[in-house]
Structure formats: C-alpha cells, structure tokens
C-alpha cells in the first residue's frame, strides 16, 4: 500500500495572500477566479483548505480500519484536503496525491452508472432508498424491512447495484465499473490488487449479505460474481484530488469538469445527492446533515467526498476512523469548510 504520494505542506497564513491569487488546475494552468460572483473567492477557497488542514492535522482520534487487514498498515498520519470547483479548479493542502482504497466512496458513482443505464426509479424499486439507521455492513437491515429494501450506499445495496450493471459476463461487469469510476475521476483509476486480495479473503460478512439478497431475489447476478466485482470496486485506488474531481462532476450536474463528458443525466443528479445526504454517513447521516448540511459519502479507506450542488466538491482523506467507520480528520475538515463558507444546502443562499 506504500506509494510515493507527496506531502504538500500548508502554505501558511503569511503566504496565502500571495499564492492564493491563483488556483492550479489539473492541466497546470493558473486561472483567476472571476467567473462566478456567487462563488467564494480564490483567496477564501485556498484559505479554508489550508486552515482545515492545519487545524485537524494533529488530531489523533479514531483508528485505521482493521477488519480489512491491509488497511491497518496505511500510515495513519496521512491527511489531504481538496476543493474542486464545478469548473475544475483545484485548491489543495496535504497528501492530496497519495493513492488510497476508494472503498465505499465508490458507491454513489456506481449508482450513477446504474441510474444512467436503467433510470433512478430502478434503484428505488430494486434496491430501495431508505436510510437504514444501522451500520454499513448490517444484515439486520435486510431482515427488518418487508421489501428487503435498503439503499445503494450500504453494503447490501452496493452489492445489489453492482449486480444491476448491465453486462454479459463478470469481466464486462468489472470493466464497466472500473471505467465508470475512472470517467468520474477524469483519469484511469487502477485496481489495488493487494487491497482486493486482503478484502476478498476476509469478506465473510459481505458474502452472507450477498447470499441473503439472492435468497430474497434482491440480487440480480450470481452472489459470488457480485461479491468479486463489488470487492474490486472497493479496491480501486484513488487520490484525494481525484475524489474531489469525482464529486465536482456531481456538483456540475453530471458532467466531468475536466473532460467535459456527461456521466449521469442531469435529472438524476438531485436523486443521487438526496441518497447521499440521507445515507452517505450511514448511522451518522443525521448528525452529518445537521452539522455540515451536505450530501457526502465516506469510505473505510479514510476518504470522504461532499458535494455542494452547482458549486464544488470538498474531498478529504485520512485513515483514522470513528466508530461508524468515517474518517475523523476528513469529516472535521469538511465540516469546518462547510461552516466557514456557509455551504450547507439548508442555508437558503
């Protein structure tokens, strides 16, 4: 899991005035932020990213996920924070180029693929859209609702959405899943094979979920095939910066701001964001909506991506997780930025 991700130190308050006049985008161009007057300025965006990083970089609460053995070996001090605007400008601090396992932050983007192929209603009918109020890997959630209805962001619903991807065989299913995630990032995202092996060998709980779904006719491909492709999807490598671009694609109405490619029909974006708001933080989704007020998705790899519809995405990564499986530094950083810039979707801007 070790890679050569670089650490970009916080610019520091005295440099902000000089350097924050430019925003560096992926093509390396520097552009002035004057196009959208409703957006916070370049200076403000770089300031909040730097501050969020500086404020929480010494927070030691939580611990790495260890139920997937290899995740316990990721250096716990890594921390990256990024804002990507809907037109692709990037503001970053910390370890934003370190590649980590995408895990559950992949789920809304694969749900987008299923929505594109079959419409948002298919997700509602064949998986469900109710928050379970239960942990991400709950089997109980499948038993308590009559229709075996969950949502596409918990493990049960995510395994089901992988099984819904239209494909003639397992290889095609996986290729489509990987290509779709890469299209959201605007760059090829690799499979981290070590993560896949580590996770697949220990996936007994997810295997039970897949079998239960199959038993209730709520899985739409063979259980073990669905399991393999789901586990590969979670083992895709991503950087904080790429995760930010993925979120910015949703902020931009489903069009990747770097490639200009439409990845989701515009009318499906609000439905996907609604599911992220109500279920993206699992059994902490209420608390998250209350504090940050933003649709978001977390992953046990330590990543979180939040979307400010029509404006920007905020992504952060740090491996130590709280009890609900959400990165402590990342959630604090995003919460701080949302608060500083009044980004809550309930603020009535």
User: What ranges in the chain are assigned the alpha helix state H?
Assistant: 13-19, 42-56, 107-118, 120-126, 140-144, 155-164, 170-185, 193-201, 204-215, 223-234, 240-251, 269-279, 285-291, 328-340
Told to check if 343 binds ligand DON by CB under 6 A, we report no
Binding-site string for ligand DON from residue 108 to residue 147, where x marks contact by CB under 6 A and - marks none: ----------------------------xx----------
Task: Residue 148: count other Cβ atoms within 10 Å of its Cβ.
Answer: 20
CB 210 to ligand DON: min, Å: 10
Name which of 92, 131, 89 is nearest 8 in CA terms: 92
Name which of 296, 286, 298 is nearest 327 in CA terms: 298
Cβ closer to ligand DON: 43 or 212?
A: 212
Cβ closer to ligand DON: 61 or 125?
A: 61
Binding-site string for ligand DON from residue 150 to residue 179, where x marks contact by CB under 6 A and - marks none: -----x------------------------
Cβ closer to ligand DON: 213 or 234?
A: 234
- What secondary structure does DSSP assign to 161-201, as a single string? HHHHS--SSHHHHHHHHHHHHHHHHTSPPPB-HHHHHHHHH
Q: Do the beta carbons of residue 95 and residue 7 sit within 8 Å?
A: yes
Separation CA 126–CA 129 (nearest Å) = 10
Residues in 180-219 that interact with ligand DON by CB under 6 A: 199, 206
Q: Which residue do the tokens 């209603």 mark? A: 121
Told to check if 234 binds ligand DON by CB under 6 A, we report yes
Cβ closer to ligand DON: 300 or 313?
A: 300
Binding-site string for ligand DON from residue 286 to residue 325, where x marks contact by CB under 6 A and - marks none: ------------xxx------------------------x
Told to check if 285 binds ligand DON by CB under 6 A, we report no
CB 216 to ligand DON: min, Å: 19
**Which residues sit at the interface with ligand DON, rule CB under 6 A?**
103-104, 136-137, 155, 199, 206, 234, 298-300, 325-326
């Amino acid at each position: 899991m070790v890679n050569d991700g670089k650490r970009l130190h916080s610019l520091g308050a005295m440099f902000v005035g000089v350097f924050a006049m430019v925003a560096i985008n992926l093509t390396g161009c520097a552009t002035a932020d004057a196009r959208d007057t409703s957006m916070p300025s370049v200076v403000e965006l770089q300031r909040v990213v730097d501050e969020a990083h500086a404020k929480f970089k010494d927070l030691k609460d939580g611990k790495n996920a260890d139920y997937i053995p290899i995740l316990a070996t990721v250096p716990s001090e890594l921390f990256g924070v990024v804002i990507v605007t809907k037109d692709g400008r990037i503001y970053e601090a910390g370890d934003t180029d370190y590649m980590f396992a995408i895990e559950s932050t992949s789920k809304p983007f694969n749900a987008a693929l299923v929505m594109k192929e079959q419409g948002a209603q298919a997700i509602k009918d064949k998986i469900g859209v109710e928050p379970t109020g239960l942990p991400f890997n709950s089997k109980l959630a499948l038993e308590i609702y009559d229709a075996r209805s969950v949502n596409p962001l918990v493990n049960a619903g995510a395994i089901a959405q992988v099984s819904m991807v239209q494909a003639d065989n397992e290889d095609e299913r996986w290729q489509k899943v990987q290509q779709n995630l890469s299209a959201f990032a605007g760059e090829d995202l690799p499979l981290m094979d070590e993560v896949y092996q580590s996770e697949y060998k220990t996936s007994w709980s997810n295997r039970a979920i897949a079998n239960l779904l199959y038993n209730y006719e709520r899985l739409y491909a063979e259980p073990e095939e669905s399991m393999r492709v789901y586990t590969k999807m979670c083992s895709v490598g991503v950087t904080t910066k790429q995760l930010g671009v993925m979120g910015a694609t949703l902020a931009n109405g489903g069009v990747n701001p770097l490639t200009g490619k439409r990845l989701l029909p515009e009318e499906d974006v609000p439905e996907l964001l609604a599911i992220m708001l109500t279920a993206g933080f699992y059994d902490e989704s209420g608390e998250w909506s209350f504090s940050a007020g933003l649709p978001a998705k977390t992953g046990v790899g330590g990543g979180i991506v939040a979307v400010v519809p029509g404006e920007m995405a905020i992504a952060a990564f740090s491996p130590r997780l709280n009890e609900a499986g959400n990165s402590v530094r990342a959630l604090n950083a995003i919460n701080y930025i949302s608060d500083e810039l009044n980004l809550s979707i309930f603020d009535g801007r």
